């Protein structure tokens, strides 16, 4: 009996979760798991080597390879057979969000935002209480979103890393 696979860690949910072919007709949509989409994003879009991708997703390199091959096969099938793609479900967990205070330079982690939870722009620095902060993504600073923040179901995402 095969053992249960580890959850792949993802940075954020895809903004768009459905791609429709103008020829899709009666054929069933291809279901692409969220961790499969993350594997394609890291390897094919960002151009990381497989070891770096696997490390970023918290997977072994062979497991990452299997996830990537599965994703590529599904995407190729959808393109060749003119089928829609739906990005749904899977076996994954969200990574924690990392922030840096612009006033005192404190760096801290917050759990992924959940519906009804605090967004990045609502979280104060635990050291000095300042609301001025940046979200850190692999060492790169991004401005936190503001009150215009919405969730992926509504079509857009904020800069705080909490996309649902």
Asked if the model's pLDDT at residue 104 lies above 60, the reply is yes
Residues 76 and 135 in one domain: no
Cβ atoms of 85 and 28 within 8 Å: the answer is no
The better pLDDT of the pair 115, 93 is held by 93
Which residue among 92, 125, 141 closes a domain? 92
Residues 12 and 79 in one domain: yes
* % of the chain at pLDDT higher than 70: 78
What domain range is 144 assigned to? Answer: 96-154
For 47-58, write each residue's pLDDT tens digit.
Answer: 999 999 999 999
Confidence of residue 12 (pLDDT cuts 50, 70, 90): confident
Please give the Cα distance from 77 to 71 (Å, whole number): 10
Confidence of residue 129 (pLDDT cuts 50, 70, 90): very high
Q: Where are the beta strands (DSSP E) in the chain?
A: 8-10, 18-19, 30-32, 85-87, 92-94, 97-101, 107-110, 133-137, 140-143
pLDDT at 57: 92
Confidence of residue 163 (pLDDT cuts 50, 70, 90): very low
Residues 57 and 81 in one domain: yes
Residues 42 and 56 in one domain: yes
The better pLDDT of the pair 41, 146 is held by 41
Residues 100 and 77 in one domain: no
- The total domain count for the chain is 2
Residues 84 and 58 in one domain: yes
Residue 3 covered by a domain: no
Residue 54 covered by a domain: yes
What φ, ψ does residue 136 adopt, rounded to 5°? -100, 130
Residues 77 and 53 in one domain: yes
Q: Residue 133: which residues within 8 A CB-CB, separation 6 or more?
A: 99, 100, 101, 102, 120, 123, 125, 144
Pair of tokens at residue 163: 């996309």
């Amino acid at each position: 009996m095969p053992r249960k696979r580890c959850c792949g860690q993802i940075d954020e949910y895809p903004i768009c979760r459905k791609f429709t072919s103008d020829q899709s007709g009666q054929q069933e949509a291809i279901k692409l798991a969220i961790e499969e989409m993350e594997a394609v994003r890291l390897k094919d879009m960002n151009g990381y080597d497989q070891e770096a991708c696997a490390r970023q997703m918290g997977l072994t390199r062979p497991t990452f390879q299997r996830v990537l091959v599965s994703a590529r096969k599904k995407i190729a099938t959808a393109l060749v057979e003119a089928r829609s793609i739906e990005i749904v479900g899977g076996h994954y967990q969200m990574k924690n969000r990392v922030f840096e205070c612009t006033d005192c330079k404190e760096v801290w982690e917050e759990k992924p935002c959940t519906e009804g939870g605090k967004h990045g722009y609502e979280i104060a620095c635990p050291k000095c209480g300042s609301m001025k902060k940046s979200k850190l993504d692999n060492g790169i600073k991004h401005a936190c979103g503001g009150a215009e923040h919405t969730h992926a179901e509504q079509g857009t995402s904020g800069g705080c890393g909490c996309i649902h």
